[in-house]
Structure 1
Amino acid sequence: MRLTLLFLMALLIGCSNETKIEKLEMSADNPFNVELNEPIDYAKVTADHVKAYVNVTIVNTVLDLDNIKSTDGLNFKNTFGVYDKISNDLEKANNNAFMLNWVSPDSITRIKGTKGYQKIDSLYTVIGSDKELYKTFQSYANSEEGKSLTGLKKRLVNQVLKKFEQSGVNLNDEDLVTYKQLSAEINELTSQFSTNMNSAKEMIVLDEQEADGLPENFKDTYGLDNGSYEIPVINATYGTVLSNATSSEVRKAFVMKKTNIAADKNLTILDSLISKRDQLGKLMGFDSYAGYNLESKMAKTPERVWEFIDGLVAESKAKALQDVEILKTVRNEDQKTPSDESPVNSWDIGYYKNQLLKTEYQVDYEKMRDYLPMDSCLEGMLTLYQELLGLEFRKMENPSVWHKDVTMYEVFDGEKLKGRFYLDLYPRPNKETWFYGVNFNNGIQTNDGYEVPVAMLLGNFTKPTDKLPSLLSFRELNTLFHEFGHIVNVMSYEGEFNLLSHTKSDFAEAMSQIFENWINDYDILSSFAKHYKTGEVFPKALFDSKRKAKNVSSGLSAQSSLRRCIYDMNLYNKYNPDEPLNTDELWKNIDTQMGVMDGHIEGTHTQASWIHINTHPVYMYGYLWSEVYAQDMFTVFEKNGLRDTETGVKYRKLILANGGQKDIDKAVAEFLGRPTNNKAYIKSLGLE
């Protein structure tokens, strides 16, 4: 296997497999060549730097792995200990290449970023199926010393061996070739899908009449000299148009453009992805790709996921049907057709919900924007997180970053450096269009000291203009608190081993979802939510009205989320190669099955620009799975106080800092003082 790895390495970096290969040193002027905990000089990073960084890391990784296989006198340090460090270095290179593919303003750097993480992904495939390396690890694990391991070292050993088994190491030679080929093809397809989606530049142009209902501030942002409005069809504008545009035709036109982004290319790619992932899952001995994917998650099996989804569908359906009837009444009153029993169009749901909120509950979400300028919301959020978690965030002056809009902070616990994070908050051409907490590295103990975690909040919030600051919708404020929860999750890890820094992916959202609750407390919200012109505090009456309206359309919202969960699971759990899925018809079938309303619009292809089913397959259920844990854990803060630092530090130490060091249910039970349950989640939906 050593020659195979060296041949792959030669193939990846374009050299002969007969060349004598030695460990490489990165050039001193490469910004990625930094000392422990020194920030990377991102402003100076070029495409060539990315290429060199990836290639040096690949060469050295392969040689270090070969050294493990040729080592005599195996012990923990020279097997799993070294492997953890190798994995850390490789993961950092992969994450940086992937990140620059998402955010770099330079097209060549984005291309090199894409090629870089694809090379590393190919190397991951080969490493995971390296039988000689696996046998070396097994040999140590089965030794007297290996069998006597306890605690985190034992957990690391078990996790590494399990990961190898899930990566094809036990396949026969013929199947292993197929596994590698499928993995490479899936990797290439996911990259193409993302590139097609992120490079789209859809716009909708409206005249004054068509723009009726849109907020004046919004119109000012996108107004043209000729009196029309050119609105980008992006996530930052979606909610405003769908909730406020008076014309149903305009709302439909916007949805049609939004749900057809990259459809000309990505529908075919998605069909291939589904097929190849199904082949991969079955090659690994499972009935479906979902079965293969779920084995390492909390849920474990598709059957358990379906049971979870079906239970929530049943719990929320009656409320959802009631919600639809209420919106139908609002529609009829708006259209002055009291006897009209026709269904409410899916593109009209947001508008009529907004009308209901404004007329029945005196809640105007667009007016709330004036009280939610980004700068004060960000400052208020950072202040709260620091107080609650016992941390300090220090903004760095003139940081070296990849774009002028990006800011950087260092995180301290007392005078101890805990981590570093970047904020890249606003949309720009060719940047990833969604919202993410992105980790660069997760923390590891090295011979020179502790390497602290580094992360980025990637956002696409409403951008400031010459006339207006960035004014957030309440939904965007919720997203800000959520995504920053991912950042403090990364910042909190302080374990010895990098490979134990990752939690189960269907619990990952819980640790950020919990923080959404804080903006539903008036004392906290009013501490930073102030009118961008007058400084007036967010009105208590408006907050109380919003709180009363909390469960407006909550059943319909739950069903909408579950609809996507069902779609995701159908793609990856119920695929039949003899009768391939029509991914458009699937929406209709699910709507019929759920029996609430028809959500699919003829001629649209939501799945073509849905990032999760591309890069995070079998993941959507995890948002709801995590929410159950999040709402249950929040009950401790409700009891002890939303600003109680003792509770917050306990949460940071037990939950955020855990990663994969302790069983999740045991860690949550320790925090709660009891086993977890779903009572708080059901209550949060107004379904109790």
Structure 2
Amino acid sequence: MKKLTAVIVLLSLMNCSEKETQKQHTELQKDNPFNVALNEPFDYAKVTGESIQEYVSYEIEKANLILENIKKEASPTLENTFLPFDAAMNKLGQAGRNSFMLYWTSTDSITRAKGLEYSQKVDSLNTAITSDKTLFNQFETFKASDAYSELNDRRQRFVDDIIKEFVQSGVNLSEDKLEKFKTLKSEITDLTSQYSTNMNTANLVLTLDEAGADGLPESFKDTYRTENGTYEIPAQPSTGGPVMDNATRPETRKQYQMLYSNRGAEKNIDILNQLVKKRYQLSQLMGYKSYAEYNLVPKMASNPETVWKFIEDLVAESKEKAIQDIEILKTARKKLDNIDTDKALNPWDVSYYKNQILKTDYQVDTEKIREYLPVDACLEGLFDLYQELLDLEFRKIENASVWHEDVQAYEVFENGTLKGRFYLDLYPRPFKESWFYAVPLSTGKQMENGYEVPVAMLLGNFTKGTDKIPSMISHNELSTLFHEFGHIMDAMAYEGEYSLQADTKSDFVEAMSQIFENWIWDYNTLSAFAKHYETGEVLPKALFDNMVNAKNVSSGLSAQGSLRNCIYDMNLYDKYNPNQPLDTDQLWKDIDKQMGVMDWYIEGTHPQASWIHINTHPVYYYGYLWSEVYAQDMFTVFEKNGLRDQQTGVKYRKLILANGSQRPVDETVEEFLGRPMNNKAYIKSLGLE
């Protein structure tokens, strides 16, 4: 780990001022589970709603005092303005992220309520801070000084990015408009929380008799069998694949899809309408034509025109393959169920007939493959790969203090030096957030008394094992696991001077984890841990070869599905017209007609009511495809040098993962590639050459 002597001197000066500040406010109680020394883990098992309240209130009070001192500085410098600002925002960020994480994961209702309430208090304070004109003037005064021009590029970027964030937060608005901006931000935060709560507490269940459950894997049925012999299957991400891929009866697939696509719909349709309207109003206050135009300013794409062109080009690239894919699916349907190929393909039939093609034409049975992928073995294989490739070591924390008994904790080391800590919370339970996420809890930062290491949590929802069988995942879920753990490694890799430089551009962040999905398509990697849960037999090479041959079955249709979501997201936030508000159900139909491939929309469903991206991450979905282009191009370096080549892996960690925003993304990517990036590898990966 780098020892930044000059930085420590600057931090010493800042911390002297901070110590004086700390004398003026109340101390956090010694027994508060969040009151720990540098790099000691929080005592999550002892967290209560009361301890969250005290912890967040303490950090808010401390931050306010630090910021008030910054505003009083007669001669702003890097040391007396930007360094304490970074320190204050670092601790506020930790408080807000941990509070929100516990809202997502705690089994205690009061803890969840306080987690939400106090994470929102941090959000409100962040809005107030980044629109504080006096603070902003201090920053601009420093930027106009000779001292700014003497900073190196990385520190100038640090200063510039903070100032840009203030501008994007309305600091230059008139007082009345600024108050409206703050109100809208607060209302948006509250609405997004309501949306998530409604989605995660929907608890919709599909009840099936034996006939309705025909085709479902026996191990899956065992998990959801009731005492009276029926099956109660919750409509959640972990159950979608087994049902939609295997249920013989189309009525079962349709019923499941309708339940899944209606989670939270009763309240969330209206909430989404409000969110779109309020985000539009916010962008208007800021002088932009649309919320997308406002939102894209700090991203790589930078404007809607670039995003639309990117989407439209990929739509054109993949459309012919998608139409061919549909005809192949119809042919399979005709062969299996004697349904005429002239009849339109139902959306609830796509996954089922694709699975039948995989089984009959390629001898690939996703449920049989699942038997070779017990979660514990997958984690062991994943750990082995990441440790070897990135030259890191993971050590399990025995008897770790965690928020639920299923949660595991690990520390990450590099050559014996602590680099970070991560938690795994992999199985669903009541009231827990239902998606898959890598959740950053604390970023890396140079402190006076050492380096504060990053902390993150992987939130998953894999089907839990039973007394008879262990938890097992599909190859597709394995891809999700490798992807999300890539985000964990991104968090662990950061070793920068400032916490506010830990994050990269939001439309590049997925690339750094998407690249790792490629390793599960390497037999040497996969066979090292893919062993049958009963016999210990290694995944047969012949079966793996069939999987590779089948990799691009329906790839064009899959790409069009992702692009459909991108278009929907961009329509909500770039095409909103207050005089003709969107019908968010009709929009699905309009997009299907516009794309001209198939009608995906199921009458009576509202998938936009349980889609986290358009709720908390608007104007983001295109970023998955944008990032994938970078990911596949960067993977070519590993293909050239060797998939287990540690020198390449360490270079990737140090240059790409550890960068954050310290250097421009394209600059670091070009250095890693040894050339400018291109989309050839991405197009090849879809089978669209």
| Pair in the same fold by TM > 0.5 | yes
Quote the Cα distance in structure 2 between the aligned partners of 1:625 and 1:75: 38
SS of structure 1 residue aligned to 2:584: coil
Q: How does 1:225-374 map to 2 (within 5 A)?
A: 225-337=227-339, 339-374=340-375
1:83-142 deviation line (CA, Å, top 9, x unaligned): 111110110001001101110111110100110111111111111110001001111121
- The CA distance in 1 between the partners of 2:540 and 2:230, in whole Å, is 34
* 1:480-527: CA deviation from partner (whole Å, max 9, x where unpaired): 000000000000000001111100000000000000000000111000
Task: Please name the residue that 2:4 is paired with.
Answer: none
- C-alpha separation between the residues in 2 aligned to 1:149 and 1:139? 15
Give runs of aligned pairs for residues 536-615 of structure 1, distance below 5 A.
Answer: 536-615=537-616
Of residues 24, 31, 54, the one that matches 2:33 is 31
1:591-646 superposed Cα distances (whole Å, 9 cap, x missing partner): 00000000000000000010110000000000000000000000000011111100
1:198 aligns with 2:200: yes
Structure 2 CA distance for aligned equivalents of residues 568 and 398 of structure 1: 43
Q: Are residues 1:643 and 2:644 paired?
A: yes
Task: For residue 371 of structure 1, give the secondary structure of its aligned residue in structure 2.
Answer: coil
- Which residue identity lines up with residue 194 of structure 1 in the other structure? S
Alignment of 1:407 with 2:424, yes or no, is: no
Deviations 1:321-365 (A, max 9, x none): 00001101111122223x441111001100000011111111100
Aligned-partner residue type, residue 138 of structure 1 = E
Segment drifting more, 194-203 vs 671-680:
194-203
CA shift, 1:311, in A, is 0.2
The letter of the residue matching 1:322 is Q
Q: Could you tell me how far apart the structure 1 residues matched to 2:675 and 2:595 are? A: 35
1:95-106 maps to which residues of 2 (within 5 A)? 95-106=97-108
Question: Matched residue of 1:576: which SS?
Answer: coil
String of CA shifts for 1:555-583, please: whole Å, max 9, x gaps: 00000000000000000000000000000
Classify the secondary structure of the residue corresponding to 2:170: coil
Which residue of 2 is the match for residue 118 of structure 1? 120
The AA in structure 1 aligned to 2:94 is K
| Mapped partners of 1:183, 1:53: distance in 2 | 24
Q: Which amino acid aligns with 1:119?
A: K
Q: Distance in 1 between matches of 2:377 and 2:183?
A: 50
SS of residue matched to 2:593: helix
C-alpha separation between the residues in 2 aligned to 1:623 and 1:568?
A: 12
Displacement of 1:148 in angstroms is 2.1
Where 2:206 maps in the other structure, the secondary structure is: strand
Do the aligned partners of residues 253 and 631 (structure 1) sit closer, same or farther apart at CA in structure 2, a change above 3 Å counting?
same
Deviation at 1:662, TM superposition (A): 0.5
Gaps of 5+ in 2: 1-22
CA–CA distance in 1 between the matches of 2:229 and 2:156? 68
| C-alpha distance in structure 2 between counterparts of 1:173 and 1:414, whole Å | 53
Residue 24 of structure 1 and its aligned partner are, at CA, apart by: 2.4
Aligned-pair CA distance for 1:530 = 0.1
Q: Secondary structure at the match of 2:398?
A: coil
The residue type equivalent to 1:348 in the other structure is: D
* Cross-structure match for 1:671: 672
Tell me the secondary structure at the aligned position of residue 538 of structure 1: coil
CA distance in structure 2 between the partners assigned to 1:551 and 1:49 by the alignment: 51
Match of 2:210, SS state, is coil
- The residue that corresponds to 1:14 in the other structure is none
SS at match of 2:394: strand
Letter in 1 for 2:347: S
The CA distance in 1 between the partners of 2:341 and 2:500, in whole Å, is: 59
2:600 is aligned with what amino acid? G
Counterpart residue identity of residue 592, structure 1: K
Secondary structure in 2 aligned to 1:464? coil
Cα distance in 2 for residues equivalent to 1:159 and 1:550: 41
Return the alpha-carbon distance in structure 1 between the equivalents of residues 341 and 672 of structure 2: 52
AA partner of residue 528 (structure 1): F
Write the distance in 1 (CA, Å) between the matches of 2:310 and 2:162.
Answer: 29
Distance 1:340 1:647 in 2: 49
d(CA) in 1 for partners of 2:169 and 2:25?
Answer: 26
1:85 is paired with a residue whose SS is helix
Aligned residue type for 1:220: D
Equivalent residues in 2 for 1:417-496, closer than 5 Å: 417-496=418-497
Deviates more, 1:227-236 or 1:413-422: 227-236
Stretch deviating more after TM superposition (349-358 or 142-151): 142-151
The aligned counterpart of 1:499 is 500
Instruction: State the secondary structure of the residue aligned to 2:419.
Output: strand
**In terms of mean alpha carbon deviation, does 323-332 or 559-568 score higher?**
323-332
Partner of 1:170: 172
Corresponding residue of 1:133: 135
Match of 2:17 in 1: none
| CA apart distance, 1:71 | 1.7
Amino acid at match of 1:659: G
Q: Compute the displacement of 1:73 (Å).
A: 3.5
What are the equivalent positions in structure 2 for 1:71-86 lying under 5 Å apart? 71-86=73-88
Distance (whole Å) between structure 1 residues aligned to residue 685 and residue 142 of structure 2:
49
The residue identity in structure 1 corresponding to 2:100 is: F
Partner-residue secondary structure (3-state), 2:127: helix
State whether structure 2 residue 382 is matched by structure 1 residue 381. Answer: yes
Q: What amino acid is the match of 1:591?
A: D
Segment of structure 1 superposing worse, 315-324 or 216-225: 216-225
Query: SS of 2:412's equivalent?
Result: strand
C-alpha displacement of 1:146:
2.1
Shift of 1:202: 1.0
Amino acid in structure 2 at the alignment position of 1:379: E
CA distance in 2, matches of 1:242, 1:42: 37
For 1:239-285, what per-residue CA distance to the aligned partner results, in whole angstroms no more than 9, with x for missing partners? Answer: 11000000000000001111111100000000000000001111111
- Matches of 2:227 and 2:190 in 1, distance apart? 43
The residue type paired with residue 654 of structure 1 is L
Q: Give the share of equivalent positions with the same residue, in percent.
A: 63
Secondary structure of residue in 2 paired with 1:37: coil
Q: Which runs of 5+ in 1 are unaligned?
A: 1-20
Query: Quick one: distance in 1 between partners of 2:477 and 2:549?
Result: 20
The equivalences for 1:80-95 within 5 A come to: 80-95=82-97
Amino acid at match of 1:136: Q
Matching residue of 1:393: 394
Moved segments of 4+, more than 4 Å: none
| Match of residue 10 from structure 1 | none
Deviation at 1:225, TM superposition (A): 2.0
> How far 1:220 sits from its partner (Å)?
1.0
What secondary structure is seen at the aligned counterpart in 1 of 2:371? helix
TM-score by length of 2: 0.96
TM-align CA RMSD:
0.9
